[in-house]
Structure 1
Amino acid sequence: MRVIFMGTPDFSVPALRAIAARHEVIAIYSQPPRAAGRGQKPRPSPVQRAAEELGLPVRVPERLNSSAEQAALAELGADVAVVVAYGLILPKPVLAAPRLGCLNIHASLLPRWRGAAPIHRAVMAGDAETGVAIMQMEAGLDTGPVLAEARTAIGAQDTTADLHDRLAGMGAALIVETLERLPLPATPQPAEGVTYAAKIDKAEARIDWSRPAAEIDRLIRGLSPFPGAWCMVGDERVKLLRSRLVAGSGSASGRAGQVLSGFVIACGEGAIEVLEAQRPGKRPMPADEILRGMNLPARLT
């Protein structure tokens, strides 16, 4: 098939590589290079870098709402467009241009967690499972009918990073299978069970030790690796990146935040053990390695 691929971050790359191995990718759309790093030099997106490595043509428009951009896309004569975390809104003329429309790989089991941060929100909410859905795109936000889905359990110690990589691979396999079976019937999303995965706000990342341990554990795992749930360890702002629930107790009136032993911290209800953390200006490290280089105070705040 003649495929237009539209994506930007690392999550999109496995799907691009899988499609390029089996179909004719006639154009790749990605967001323009953005300033990054200490020198703030423009840095191509992961998808642009992968496309250049594969020798595929890349287009990086700032937006797609001009008639010239829409005409240029339509002239490609694509059978289908595959969209994976592209980051730009597709106007109706773009959605209608490919013969079979635009298919989106979305990292949730729709209609749960429509929107920007479905993996983070699934972990933070304590969902037992998540997955990927192949959706026929329409004008609404992740409202289109679903052609296929694949499911995976969310483990007790899974982080957003763990699920990100797993779901990226699942999405790549599922889109290849879906493309080979087109046209497929699409199932409208049910009206019940709709939730929205709002973009992560950095203000959510401060740990409140008076909350129950299960909630804090989900926050730590859900915000790992970015932006990273954090607390004050003495006078250092430390990101906590992996954790697990352990036996122990705390109370909102006194013991919440108390260091019980090692890196086990009392919460408002129960306790967690920190398994991985990151001190300012340093790489993420296992808890035992961090404890060799710093003394924890009696209480974290």
Structure 2
Amino acid sequence: MTLETPTKLRLAFMGTPDFAVPALRALHAAGHDIVAVYSQPPRRAGRGKKLTPSPVQQVAEELRLEVRVPVSLKSEEAQAEFDALDLNAAVVAAYGLILPQAILDAPKMGCLNIHGSLLPRWRGAAPVQRAILAGDSETGITIMQMEAGLDTGPMLLKSSTPVAEKTAGALTEELAQTGADLMVQYLASPNDYLPEVQHDALATYAKKITKEEAHVNFNQPAADVLNQVRAFNPVPGAFFVHEGERYRIHSAEIVAESGPAGTVIDDQMTIGCADQAIKPILIQKAGKPAMPLQAFLNGTKIPVGTSLQ
């Protein structure tokens, strides 16, 4: 069906973390009428546990846009308020709340999602980290039409990028800007793009990251250990334990050496893995600032032969 789409669309934006901010800014700069911004409610953060608005809410308020922070969209009242916006479309980027069918159906063009993977690979909550952990050579952004299933809707537009040696933080930042650009591109001429049905047989699931997963497993090849380090940078941070203290590895390199897995094999803190070894580049002891390896070793002695947990 051909859509009669005005140049300036009446939109709702639905997002919460930093990943969603470039899209909100891009849609605003493109001149669309963003009549409401939905974000998750403020959460307590920082040492003082002060209630802090989400990054999207902060930017929306900066842009003088109306912000709504419902705990849920399941109530008839919330759905009626959304329907009353009379939207051309809702743009969704890492919102974090389930959208009931009444919400999905309300906008004329439906709800359009910016997803951080090349669907159907890595449907779910943590597509960037899962792509790095799996050693994928490329990932990207998919603009998709939302439906009731988890990231199962028709694909409208895609863009790929090499994973290379990027951390999750760097890759997320890159994909956020790509997603913003693609969404603006799509909304400028939606009739130019034919929906493509996803092949469920090719789907993989990007389950939410847990803090326990960031505990480095040296009983695997060094390449997989390095993937852990990159996937959990900046959060939750890949770590090992020594004498009851946690040490976060912010960056590392593979070294063509061998030794028992998890054991320090030289005075430069090279750590044996199942295959080859890794050497931290930037490391952080709990409660201390991150520092380059040599500066760290000047103040902390971890002898050759030490077994790290």
TM range (shorter): over 0.9
Change (3 A) 1:179 1:102: same
Q: Which residue of 2 aligns with 1:262?
A: 268
Q: Which residue of 1 aligns with 2:71?
A: 62
Please provide the CA RMSD for this pair: 1.4
State the 1:35 CA deviation.
Answer: 1.2
Count of residues in correspondence between the two structures: 297
Instruction: State the SS of the aligned residue for 1:192.
Output: helix
Distance 2:55 2:133 in 1: 26
Q: Which residue of 1 aligns with 2:236?
A: 227
* The 10-residue stretch of structure 1 (104-113 or 270-279) with the greater mean CA deviation from structure 2: 270-279
* The 10-residue stretch of structure 1 (177-186 or 26-35) with the greater mean CA deviation from structure 2: 177-186
Q: Which residue of 2 aligns with 1:37?
A: 46
Q: Is the 8 A contact 1:213 1:267 kept in 2?
A: yes
Note the alpha carbon deviations across 1:24-53, whole angstroms, 9 max, x for none.
111100000011122222110000000011
* The 10-residue stretch of structure 1 (116-125 or 204-213) with the greater mean CA deviation from structure 2: 204-213
Distance 1:163 1:263 in 2: 28
Note the alpha carbon deviations across 1:233-275, whole angstroms, 9 max, x for none.
34421011212222111245xxx42243424222121011212
Which AA in structure 1 matches 2:212? Answer: A
Instruction: State the SS of the aligned residue for 2:35.
Output: strand
Q: Is the 8 A contact 1:243 1:275 kept in 2?
A: yes
Q: Which residue of 1 aligns with 2:287?
A: 281
Query: Percent identity over the alignment?
Result: 49
Distance 1:283 1:186 in 2: 48
Q: Which residue of 2 aligns with 1:152?
A: 161
- Structure 2 gap ranges (5+): 1-8
State the 1:214 CA deviation.
Answer: 1.3
Q: Which residue of 1 aligns with 2:109?
A: 100
Instruction: State the SS of the aligned residue for 2:24.
Output: helix
Which AA in structure 2 matches 1:179? Answer: L
Which AA in structure 1 matches 2:288? Answer: K
Aligned partner of 1:138 among 147, 153, 157: 147
Q: Is 2:303 aligned against 1:297? A: yes
Q: Is the 8 A contact 2:259 2:265 kept in 1?
A: no
Distance 1:99 1:208 in 2: 49
Distance 2:156 2:21 in 1: 21
Distance 1:263 1:164 in 2: 30
Distance 1:17 1:288 in 2: 41
Mapping for residues 168-207 of structure 1, pairs under 5 Å? 168-183=176-191, 184-207=193-216
* The 10-residue stretch of structure 1 (83-92 or 178-187) with the greater mean CA deviation from structure 2: 178-187
Q: Which residue of 2 aligns with 1:12?
A: 20
Distance 2:183 2:263 in 1: 45
Structure 1 length as normaliser, TM-score? 0.95
Which AA in structure 1 matches 2:178? Answer: M
Q: Is the 8 A contact 2:258 2:276 kept in 1?
A: yes
* The 10-residue stretch of structure 1 (233-242 or 100-109) with the greater mean CA deviation from structure 2: 233-242
Distance 1:118 1:89 in 2: 17
Aligned partner of 1:116 among 104, 125, 130: 125
Instruction: State the SS of the aligned residue for 1:218.
Output: helix
Q: Which residue of 1 aligns with 2:61?
A: 52
Aligned partner of 1:208 among 202, 206, 217: 217
Instruction: State the SS of the aligned residue for 1:257.
Output: coil
Distance 2:243 2:260 in 1: 21
Structure 2 length as normaliser, TM-score? 0.92
State the 1:291 CA deviation.
Answer: 2.6
* The 10-residue stretch of structure 1 (146-155 or 180-189) with the greater mean CA deviation from structure 2: 180-189
